[in-house]
C-alpha cells in the first residue's frame, strides 16, 4: 500500500519547529524519509500512521511535504514558510510603569501572536495590518533605576523578531517624587527655589497646584540640576495659598505630598 498523508501540523511556520504528519502506510523509522521541497529529512519518530520530524530551513513560501517509504512517494501536502517579523519603530516609545497602548511598526505582523517587552512581560497584540499593530506594554515591577529600556520583540508563526537597538525599545520611566522644597515659603515671583526628589529624568513640566484643588500653573525658568534636583521660579500670577509643586516626566506626575508644599503668605 502506498503511503498517504491526511494532515500535517503545523501547516505554516519556520525551521526548527516539530512537525507531525498523520496518515496511513507511513512506514517506520528505518524506512521513511520526508521531502520538504528539494530537501530530504530523516524523521525523529515514525509509525504506519504518524511521522515526527524537525522542519528544515527554507525560504518564505510554499514547500511540498512528501513522505517516502521504501522509495514509494505519498501524496503531497503544502507547508508555508513564514518569515520572522521585524520591528522598525514604536509610537510612543516611552511611558510610565503601567503604560497605555502603543503602536508598533515593522513587517510580518499578519500572524503575530505575542509581543515581549524585554524581561518585563509579554502582551497579546491587536494586528491592524502586516506592518502595524497595537499593544499595551506589560506593567513594570520594581525599578532598579529611573528608566528601563526594554526590547520590543514580536512573535509570529515564522519566529521572533531580533532586537534592533534604541528604535525598537520601549523605555519605562519610574514615577518622579518630590521630597523637599527650599525655601518652602515666599512671595509670588520668588526666584531660585530648589526642589529635591527622585527621577527628575526628561522633565516636561513642573506645576504649582492649589492643595485644595484648582487649576495648575506651570513654573517659570525650570532648570534641571540633577536626577534628584531642580531649580525654578514661582509664577508671579499666583495668589496667596499653599501649593503642591509637582514634577511631570514620561513616568507620570509626582504624587502630591506635604514635602512638596510651597506657601505664599
195 in the same domain as 216:
yes
83's enclosing H/E stretch is none
Last residue of a domain, one of 173, 200, 226: 173
Cα–Cα distances (Å) from 17 to 52, 157, 235, in that order, read 11, 10, 64
152 in the same domain as 135:
yes
The count of structural domains within the chain is 3
Q: Given this model, what pLDDT does residue 213 score?
A: 92
* The Cα angle at residue 244 between residues 186 and 100, in degrees rounded to 5: 150
197 in the same domain as 146:
no
Q: How many other CB atoms are there within 10 angstroms of residue 156's CB atom?
A: 25
**Which residues, including other chains, have CB under 8 Å from residue 237's CB and lie 6 or more apart?**
188, 217
Whether 112 and 133 have beta carbons less than 8 Å apart is answered as yes
Looking at the DSSP bridge assignments, the partners of residue 225 are none
List, for the chain, all residue ranges whose pLDDT scores fall below the cut of 70.
none
Q: Given this model, what pLDDT does residue 58 score?
A: 84
Q: Given this model, what pLDDT does residue 59 score?
A: 80
Last residue of a domain, one of 158, 173, 188: 173
Q: Given this model, what pLDDT does residue 252 score?
A: 98
234 in the same domain as 222:
yes
193 in the same domain as 153:
no
Burial 181-218 (b: 16+ CB within 10 A, else e): beeeebeeebeebebbbbbbbbbeebbbbeeeeeebee
CATH of the domain at 128: 2.60.40.10
Among candidate residues 44, 79, 32, the one with its CA nearest the CA of residue 58:
79
Distance, CA of 99 to CA of 90 (rounded, Å): 13
Q: Given this model, what pLDDT does residue 177 score?
A: 98
91 in the same domain as 169:
yes
Q: Given this model, what pLDDT does residue 1 score?
A: 76
Would you say the pTM of this structure is higher than 0.75?
Answer: yes
Q: Which domain holds residue 59?
A: 4-81
Q: Given this model, what pLDDT does residue 254 score?
A: 98
160 in the same domain as 92:
yes
50 in the same domain as 103:
no
Last residue of a domain, one of 173, 196, 225: 173
CA end-to-end distance (rounded Å), the chain: 99
Q: Is 143 exposed, middle or buried (0-12, 13-18, 19+ CB in 10 A)?
A: middle
Amino acid at each position: 500500500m502506498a503511503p498517504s498523508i491526511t494532515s500535517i501540523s503545523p501547516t505554516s511556520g519556520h525551521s526548527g519547529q516539530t512537525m507531525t504528519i498523520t496518515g496511513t502506510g507511513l512506514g517506520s523509522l528505518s524506512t521513511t524519509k520526508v521531502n520538504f521541497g528539494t530537501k530530504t529529512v530523516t524523521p525523529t519518530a515514525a509509525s504506519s500512521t504518524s511521522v515526527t520530524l524537525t522542519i528544515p530551513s527554507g525560504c518564505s513560501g510554499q514547500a511540498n511535504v512528501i513522505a517516502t517509504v521504501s522509495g514509494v512517494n505519498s501524496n503531497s501536502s503544502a507547508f508555508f514558510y513564514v518569515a520572522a517579523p521585524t520591528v522598525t519603530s514604536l509610537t510612543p516609545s516611552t511611558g510610565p510603569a503601567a503604560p497605555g497602548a502603543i503602536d508598533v511598526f515593522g513587517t510580518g505582523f499578519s500572524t503575530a501572536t505575542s509581543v515581549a517587552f524585554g524581561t518585563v512581560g509579554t502582551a497579546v497584540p491587536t494586528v491592524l495590518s502586516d506592518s502595524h499593530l497595537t499593544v499595551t506594554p506589560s506593567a513594570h515591577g520594581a525599578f532598579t533605576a529611573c528608566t528601563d529600556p526594554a526590547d520590543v520583540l514580536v512573535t509570529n508563526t515564522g519566529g521572533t523578531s531580533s532586537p534592533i537597538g534604541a528604535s525598537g525599545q520601549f523605555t519605562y520611566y519610574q514615577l518622579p517624587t518630590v521630597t523637599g522644597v527650599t525655601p518652602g515659603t515666599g512671595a509670588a515671583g520668588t526666584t531660585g527655589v530648589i526642589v529635591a526628589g527622585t527621577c527628575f529624568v526628561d522633565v516636561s513640566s513642573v506645576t504649582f497646584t492649589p492643595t485644595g484643588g484648582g487649576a495648575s500653573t506651570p513654573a517659570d525658568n525650570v532648570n534641571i540640576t540633577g536626577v534628584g534636583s531642580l531649580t525654578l521660579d514661582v509664577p508671579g500670577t499666583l495668589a496667596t495659598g499653599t501649593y503642591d509643586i509637582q514634577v511631570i516626566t514620561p513616568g507620570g506626575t509626582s504624587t502630591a505630598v506635604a514635602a512638596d508644599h510651597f506657601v505664599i503668605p
